[in-house]
Amino acid sequence: MKYNEFEHCGLNVSLQMLSGKWKPIILYHLFHNQQIRFTELWRIIPKVAKKVLLDHLRQMENDGLIIRNERSGFPPEVCYRLSEKGKALGPILSSLEAWANEHAAREVEALRKANSARRKSE
Amino acid sequence: MKYNEFEHCGLNVSLQMLSGKWKPIILYHLFHNQQIRFTELWRIIPKVAKKVLLDHLRQMENDGLIIRNERSGFPPEVCYRLSEKGKALGPILSSLEAWANEHAAREVEALRKANSARRKSE
DNA sequence: CCGTATCCTAATGGATACTG
DNA sequence: CAGTATCCATTAGGATACGG
């Protein structure tokens, strides 16, 4: 092999950080809001279990994609927002979005409809 | 919410197509070779189970990312190569690679060393 | 409000033997 | 050589109840 081996490791790492059933929608909302409170995020993501949402947020925090901000007192108030590292992913995620819309329009439409129907039935 | 909902669906679809433990390395080799025979791919990916590699390739074929080419006769000869749709992912995957190298250098290095060590011990 | 603790199910990845 | 068939281990995702 004349090309450099192990060039795929970075790809592995980044895809790993993005893998998780609810990460795309979490990222989407974080890119459209400066910050979001936990319960608000839980409310706008339909049907995700609280534990799972927390798992995802913890992973993303550990990976340095997002920042968790806790205001002490009662009731507690926790906000999540993108880190610089997370923001740097913006253009790439847009490219992936565009690629899917161009090359997998059928699947994207199907998913859109499924989500839309689910939202209405609540 | 003033922004358009469900804009994350395309991202969901594309990440879904890229999710799988061995897809990054498969894609990497397909981007560096016009076509690869099944056994060759199985040989250069260390320790993956044949069934799992086949599962991944089937998924990628069903998703339209790769094309399977079978030459009849005995012994059989099956080659895999990127489709146009798959090739269109190239620049995006490079961006993800670059992002990881810039923002997650530690993790990338760790993985590189782990793979390198595993390769030597065979 | 935010998070934990349990317990459960489904999906993914894998080892091994076998077949045309 | 390429692919199937079993069977198994691990992980991800989820429902529900409880706690500071």
- Transcribe B70-113 into DSSP letters: EE-SSS-EEEEEE-HHHHTTHHHHHHHHHHHHHH-HHHHHHHHH
Stated pTM of the model: 0.94
Protein residues with Cβ atoms closer than 7 angstroms to any atom of nucleic acid strand C: A 37-40, 50-51, 54, 57, 68, 70, 75-78; B 19-22, 47-52, 55-56, 75-76
pLDDT at A2: 53
| pLDDT over threshold 60, residue B2 | no
Q: Which strand D bases fall within 7 angstroms of a protein CB?
A: 1-6, 12-17, 20
| pLDDT over threshold 70, residue B12 | yes
Within A 81-120, residues with CB less than 7 Å from strand D: none
A3 contacts B12? CB cut-off 8 A: no
Q: How far apart are CA A56 and CA A78, in angstroms?
A: 15
pLDDT tens-digit readout, A16-45: 999 999 999 999 999 999 999 999 999 999
Which whole number is the average pLDDT over A58-83? 96
B64 contacts A100? CB cut-off 8 A: no
| Mean pLDDT, all residues of chain B | 93
pLDDT tens-digit readout, B32-82: 999 999 999 999 998 999 999 999 999 999 999 999 999 988 899 999 999
Q: How far apart are CA B115 and CA B109, in angstroms?
A: 10
Going across the sheet that includes B36-37, the strands are B36-37, B77-82, B66-71
Least confident window among A10-14, B90-94, B104-108, B118-122:
B118-122
